[in-house]
């Protein structure tokens, strides 16, 4: 890196608030980079008299062939075993040879996140790249996340990659369940979860393989008509893919179906088992008891029982349907159409009862 004397002035640029001269300088810097990837904040780049950014910038290809844009990265909102999730503040792009900044607030329905994935030392580079490309492919097939192609880069010799995708509205189901909801709202939420799975996973000929409260986004802006979105397709597969005897098993262990522990592979039925635990948590408030011993989790999955009493669910038919989603035998589990029909009937019955009470009053 070029060294600078004390008399040389380093240009410090906030890419979200630029003067005309700063926009011109940053535009020359970005356009002149032959291998654009990530431009880190607070790092001095040897350009002009030195250039430092107050916010990180990540390159990606544009929507039009041959075009490019630069996403301005905001705060980190997720930190897991496989990577990090950062919000995007806005994007920089060239229009008539001038660098323009567009904040996400101008098109909030197109808000984006960046998922950054470092390579773990125990994973070969070839396997790591294959896994990321597979995640991109399956997420693209799901459709609703509008994912962009992965970008691979090196940071001080360490291999990393990132993918941009649409930020889903609302909060995770895990966060949402901290609120207080009546039975009607909880049933509507169960119905929305099933609907989202059928549209975003099953209809796309996919098996999700990592269904958990952290991987379902919930928009409760209309409590009786919630919207749900499945995220994180890192372990997803095509329904036709045979993954029997493929180890290690990937996913959130507490929600994994028993047949997967036995090496029999995953299917829509194994996703239904996971969904059964999810719906039980919505209606019972308690998540599966934490456990780090796989053999104990496997034995527990064979019980076909809830992890807590469904204290918010009075309808016995719905309870029986959800109960049957946890059947140890995948061929005997409830079908999603049956579960959603039973829940819909329960909601309609509640609506009619409420109407009759209102008329009587």
Q: Which CATH architecture has domain 16-22+31-166?
A: 2-Layer Sandwich (3.30)
Cα 215–220–225 angle (5° rounding)? 110
Distance of CA 196 to the CA centre of its chain: 13
Neighbours of 97 (CB within 10 A): 7
State the pLDDT at residue 2.
36
Judged by average pLDDT, the poorest of 3-17, 69-83, 251-265, 311-325 is: 3-17
What is this structure's pTM? 0.91
Mean pLDDT of 244-248: 89
Between 96 and 141, the more confident residue is 141
State the pLDDT at residue 5.
40
Q: Is the peptide bond before 152 cis (omega within 30 degrees of 0)?
A: no
CATH fold of the domain at 171-356: Transferase(Phosphotransferase); domain 1 (1.10.510)
Judged by average pLDDT, the poorest of 52-56, 69-73, 123-127, 245-249 is: 245-249
Mean pLDDT of 164-174: 97
**Is the CB of residue 54 less than 8 Å from the CB of residue 62?**
no
Q: How confident is the model at residue 1 (pLDDT cuts 50, 70, 90)?
A: very low
Share of the chain above pLDDT 90, in %: 80
Burial class (CB in 10 A: 0-12, 13-18, 19+), 301: buried
Between 202 and 48, the more confident residue is 202
Domain residue spans of the chain = 16-22+31-166, 171-356
């Amino acid at each position: 890196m070029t060294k600078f004397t004390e008399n040389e002035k380093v240009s410090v640029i906030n890419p979200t608030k630029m003067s005309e001269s700063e926009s011109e300088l940053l535009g020359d810097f970005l356009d002149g980079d032959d291998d654009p990837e990530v431009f880190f904040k607070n790092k001095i780049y040897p350009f002009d008299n030195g250039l430092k950014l107050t916010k990180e910038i990540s390159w990606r290809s544009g929507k039009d062939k041959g075009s490019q844009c630069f996403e301005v990265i905001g705060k980190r909102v997720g930190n897991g075993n496989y990577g990090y999730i950062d919000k995007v503040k806005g994007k920089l792009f060239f229009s008539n040879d001038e660098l323009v900044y567009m904040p996400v607030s101008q098109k909030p329905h197109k808000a984006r996140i960046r998922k950054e994935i470092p390579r773990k030392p125990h994973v070969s580079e070839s396997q790591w790249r294959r896994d990321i490309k597979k995640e991109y492919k399956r997420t693209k097939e799901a459709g609703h996340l509008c994912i962009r192609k992965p970008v691979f880069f090196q940071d001080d010799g360490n291999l990393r990659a990132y993918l941009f995708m649409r930020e889903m509205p609302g909060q995770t189901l895990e966060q949402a369940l901290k609120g207080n909801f009546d039975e009607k709202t909880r049933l509507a939420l169960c119905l929305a979860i099933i609907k989202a799975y059928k549209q975003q996973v099953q209809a796309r000929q996919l098996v999700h393989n990592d269904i958990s409260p952290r991987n379902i986004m919930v928009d409760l802006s209309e409590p009786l008509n919630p919207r749900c979105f499945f995220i994180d397709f890192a372990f997803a597969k095509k329904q036709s893919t045979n993954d029997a005897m493929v180890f290690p098993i990937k996913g959130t262990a507490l929600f994994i179906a028993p047949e997967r522990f036995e090496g029999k592979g995953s299917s829509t039925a194994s996703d239904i088992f996971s969904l059964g635990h999810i719906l039980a948590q919505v209606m019972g408030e308690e998540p599966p008891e934490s456990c780090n011993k796989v053999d104990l989790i496997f034995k527990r999955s064979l019980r076909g029982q809830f992890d807590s009493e469904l204290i918010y669910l009075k309808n016995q038919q719905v309870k029986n349907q959800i109960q049957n989603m946890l059947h140890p035998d995948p061929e005997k589990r409830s079908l999603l159409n049956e579960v959603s029909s039973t829940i819909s009937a329960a909601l309609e019955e509640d609506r009619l009862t409420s109407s009759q009470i209102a008329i009587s009053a």
